[in-house]
């Protein structure tokens, strides 16, 4: 029985809809679609069926594999094995008995080391490597050359005197294996289809050489998921490297089909893999068209001229959210578009009779003057007015362009390194590594003495609803709103405080700081440790709405983002179930 028949067509939706998790971003990555979970599971199923005799029918008239194994043993097909190794025979592992009992007619159970030669690569000093082809030097493959096919474009050259045996020269139809690599890549193989020049291979590689077993069938065997799992699990592990030894590779269980059947299996696998490639290609093409559709709808939203037009455009989209935004990336893009529209004044109507932002800014300035007079804050050097080139969209009625420092007080945490303290009165010292996902991890933060905390708090006193904003390293722009009255100090993060929470809505400022964060990576300076300065943060330009409109924007945006979160959870659950179904289909086919 061939379990592939029907599965490819009948379960088309499962193979194409079950996807690997993609990296977050503002759009849907076409490149990531080429690693579809479902199609990869189907490829794995094809390989597993191939090495278990379930892919093609058996022919009782063909010479059985037992005769092939006799030829390999008696005709000296493995000529370069040591005499002690050649005489060794491994007992069939009891874990393989179930497989042996189910072997098709004509197949025989054996071990890899009994039917192929396995040659380890040469070793040489690191200073002997050269990128230049010169007389007396020979091309040498390394692990990076072992891809789906041999990569001949990036070769090293070493002295030919490091080659001690003829079998260390690569031959056509050799299989090159990565014997030392990361756990995910160890055991990776590539077939030598042709040799552009005389070549050897390095010590982290091995070559599997066959004379009577089809090299193409061996490739199927070595790439099958069960074989990959056996190789990885049998490898010795160090901190970063996994190693496959000859002692583990030689006794790798191998079910040998008759030679004629090997050819038919290879031909069938090649045809089915072409179908898988076409299946994946059609999925990518459909996804590309879908991506264009999503971008067009997002562009339509972004061009909404005022609240009324946004309502009309949103009405066109909202009824088809689940069909349009069918990936985590597209939902993230929708969230970003909604955030931009909110901060451009498109989500809620303007109140022409309400208090203007001009009046609000005067009230904030009056409050700043009072705080300076009473010694709570220092008087800051005035920032330049917002230039026309910095105004990147037309303002709604009643809004004003201003700078961040004019609306909130942007302060700095300590840059000192106070000594760690674990006494009863110690206080957490929070850095950017201690907050993610909207929460502060106080348990993981360093603790400092109450005296050091008091000194830091003189300039950076943290209160509930303040915002901590990362300004250094790869996580620039990560932020968290303080949700506790617990005392703590901060280091190497900016502190966004309010001159008055009654005049400035903390949750609106949080939304705006999230939007500004997406722009800061490009403006960060520095190499290995990029940073944004307090001056950069204070000078950031924001479009400020009237006080009463800030709360309306927060409420409307939260309402829409809640729908996006529900959609995201639905997508995660759907994809989890689709992947599970793909797994179950494979398990049932191989049972």
Most confidently modeled range among 65-69, 73-77, 328-332:
65-69
Long-range contacts: 284-287, Cβ < 8 Å, 24+? 284/30, 284/33, 284/34, 287/28, 287/30, 287/33
- Are residues 362 and 251 part of one domain? no
Question: Is residue 408 domain-resident?
Answer: yes
Decide if 214 is inside a domain.
yes
Q: What is the pLDDT of residues 182-216, one digit of tens each?
A: 999 999 999 999 899 999 999 999 999 998 999 99
pLDDT value, residue 22: 46
What domain range includes position 201?
109-257
Q: Is 31 helix (H, G, I), strand (E, B) or coil?
A: helix
Are 124 and 232 within one domain? yes
User: Among positive and negative, which fits the CA dihedral 432, 438, 440, 443?
Assistant: negative
Q: What is the pLDDT of residue 33?
A: 37
Band the pLDDT of 19: cuts 50, 70, 90: low
| Residue 92 placed within a domain | no
How far is Cα 541 from Cα 402, in angstroms, rounded to an integer?
Answer: 6
* Other CB atoms within 10 Å distance of the CB of residue 393: 11
Give the pLDDT of residue 25: 38
Rounded distance between C-alpha atoms, residue 254 and residue 224, angstroms: 12
**15 falls in which pLDDT band (50, 70, 90)?**
low
Average pLDDT over residues 32-52: 78
Residues 240 and 363 in one domain: no
pLDDT digits (tens, 9 = 90+) for 104-161: 999 999 999 999 999 999 999 988 889 989 999 999 999 999 999 999 998 999 999 9
Contact present, 186 and 231 (Cβ < 8 Å): yes
Q: What is the mean pLDDT of residues 233-255?
A: 90
The pLDDT value recorded for residue 31 is 36
In a domain, 84, yes or no: no
State mean pLDDT over 296-321.
75
Whether 511 maps to a domain, the answer reads yes
Residue 11 binned pLDDT confidence (cut-offs 50, 70, 90) = low
Whether residue 300 is predicted with pLDDT greater than 90 in this model: the reply is no
- Indicate whether 431 and 540 sit together in one domain: yes
User: Does residue 328 carry a pLDDT above 70?
Assistant: yes
pLDDT of 127 reads 87
Q: What's the CATH code of the domain at 531?
A: 3.90.220.20
Residues 246 and 368 in one domain: no
- What average pLDDT does range 252-258 have in this prediction? 94
Q: Are residues 115 and 231 in the same domain?
A: yes
Q: Are 409 and 523 in a shared domain?
A: yes
* pLDDT for position 76: 57
Query: What SS3 string covers 342-360?
Result: HHCCCCCCCCCCCCCHHHH
- Number of structural domains in the chain: 2
Better-predicted residue by pLDDT, 264 or 86: 264
Same domain, 383 and 527: yes
Of 223, 257, 291, the residue that ends a domain is 257
Q: Which pLDDT band holds residue 304 (cuts at 50, 70, 90)?
A: confident
Same domain, 484 and 362: yes
159 strand-pairing partners: 137
Decide which of 257, 274, 294 is a domain's last residue: 257
Domain boundary among 212, 235, 257: 257
Q: Are the beta carbons of 217 and 266 closer than 8 angstroms?
A: yes
Query: pTM for the complete prediction?
Result: 0.63
Residue 308 in domain? no
Residues 237, 373 within the same domain: no
Asked if residue 3 belongs to a domain, the reply is no
Question: What is the distance between the alpha carbons of residues 372 and 359, in angstroms, rounded to a whole number?
Answer: 20
Do 246 and 369 have their domain in common? no
Give me the mean pLDDT over the 281-309 stretch: 73
Give which of 407, 410, 411, 398 is closest to 365, Cα–Cα. Answer: 407
Whole-number mean pLDDT of the chain? 84
Q: Label residue 30 by pLDDT band (50, 70, 90).
A: very low
- pLDDT exceeds cutoff 70 at 26: no
Q: Which residue has the higher pLDDT, 268 or 80?
A: 268
Residue 256: helix, strand or coil by DSSP?
A: strand
Summarize pLDDT for 403-449 with one digit per residue, the tens: 999 999 999 887 888 899 988 889 999 998 999 878 999 999 999 99
pLDDT of residue 305: 76
Q: Is residue 290 part of a domain?
A: no
Could you tell me which residues come within 8 angstroms of residue 362 by beta carbon, excluding any fewer than 6 positions away?
none
- Domain match, 246 and 373 both: no
Q: Write out pLDDT tens, residues 466-517.
A: 999 998 877 788 899 999 999 999 998 999 999 999 999 999 999 999 888 8
- Residue 121: both structure tokens together: 């690569």
């Amino acid at each position: 029985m061939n379990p592939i028949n029907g599965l490819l067509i009948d379960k088309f939706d499962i193979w194409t809809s079950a996807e690997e998790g993609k990296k977050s971003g503002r759009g849907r990555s076409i490149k990531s679609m080429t690693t579809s979970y479902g199609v990869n599971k189907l490829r794995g199923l094809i390989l597993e069926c191939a090495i278990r005799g379930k892919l093609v029918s058996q022919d009782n008239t063909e010479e059985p594999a037992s005769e092939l194994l006799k030829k390999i043993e008696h005709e000296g097909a493995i000529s370069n094995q040591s005499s002690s190794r050649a005489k060794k025979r491994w007992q069939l592992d009891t874990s393989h008995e179930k497989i042996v009992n189910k072997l098709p007619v004509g197949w025989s159970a054996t071990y890899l080391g009994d039917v192929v030669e396995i040659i380890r690569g040469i070793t040489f000093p690191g200073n002997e490597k050269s990128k230049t082809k010169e007389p007396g030097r020979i091309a040498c493959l390394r692990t990076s050359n072992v891809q789906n096919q041999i990569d001949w474009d990036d070769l090293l050259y070493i002295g030919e005197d490091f080659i001690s045996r003829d079998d260390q020269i690569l031959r056509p139809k050799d299989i090159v294996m990565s014997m030392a690599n990361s756990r995910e890549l160890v055991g990776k193989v590539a077939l030598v289809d042709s040799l552009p020049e005389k070549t050897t291979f390095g010590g982290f590689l091995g070559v599997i050489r066959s004379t009577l077993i089809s090299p193409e069938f061996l490739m199927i065997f070595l790439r099958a998921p069960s074989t990959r799992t056996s190789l990885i699990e049998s490898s010795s592990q160090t901190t970063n490297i996994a190693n496959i030894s000859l002692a583990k590779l030689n006794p790798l269980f191998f079910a040998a089909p008759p030679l004629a059947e090997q050819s038919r299996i290879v031909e069938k696998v090649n045809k089915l893999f072409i179908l898988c490639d076409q299946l994946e290609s059609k999925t990518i093409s459909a996804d590309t068209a879908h991506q264009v559709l999503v971008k067009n709808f997002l562009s339509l939203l972004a061009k909404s001229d005022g609240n009324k037009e946004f309502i009309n455009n949103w009405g066109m989209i909202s009824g088809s959210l689940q069909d349009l935004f069918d990936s985590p990336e597209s939902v993230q893009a929708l969230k970003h578009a909604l955030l931009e529209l909110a901060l451009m004044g498109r989500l809620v109507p303007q109140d022409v009779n309400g208090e203007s932002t001009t009046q609000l800014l005067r009230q904030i300035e009056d409050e700043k003057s009072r705080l300076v007079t009473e010694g709570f804050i220092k008087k800051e050097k005035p920032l330049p007015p917002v230039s026309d080139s910095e105004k990147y969209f037309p303002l709604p009625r009643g809004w004003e362009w201003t700078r961040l420092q004019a609306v909130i007080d942007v302060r700095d945490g300590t840059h000192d390194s106070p000594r760690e303290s674990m006494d009863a009165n110690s206080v957490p010292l929070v850095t950017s590594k201690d907050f993610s996902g909207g929460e502060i991890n106080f348990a993981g933060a360093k603790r400092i003495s109450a005296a050091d905390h008091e000194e830091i708090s003189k300039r950076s006193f943290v209160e509930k609803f303040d915002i901590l904003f990362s300004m250094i390293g790869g996580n620039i722009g990560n932020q968290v709103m303080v949700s506790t009255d617990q005392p703590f100090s901060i280091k190497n993060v900016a502190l966004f405080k309010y001159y008055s929470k009654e005049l400035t809505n903390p949750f609106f400022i949080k939304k705006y700081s999230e939007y500004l964060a997406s722009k800061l990576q490009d403006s960060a300076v520095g190499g290995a440790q990029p940073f944004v300065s307090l001056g950069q943060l204070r000078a950031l330009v924001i479009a400020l709405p009237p006080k009463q409109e800030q709360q309306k924007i927060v409420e409307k945006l939260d309402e829409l983002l809640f729908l996006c979160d529900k959609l995201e959870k639905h997508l995660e659950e759907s994809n989890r179930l689709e992947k599970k179904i793909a797994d179950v289909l494979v398990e049932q086919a191989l049972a």
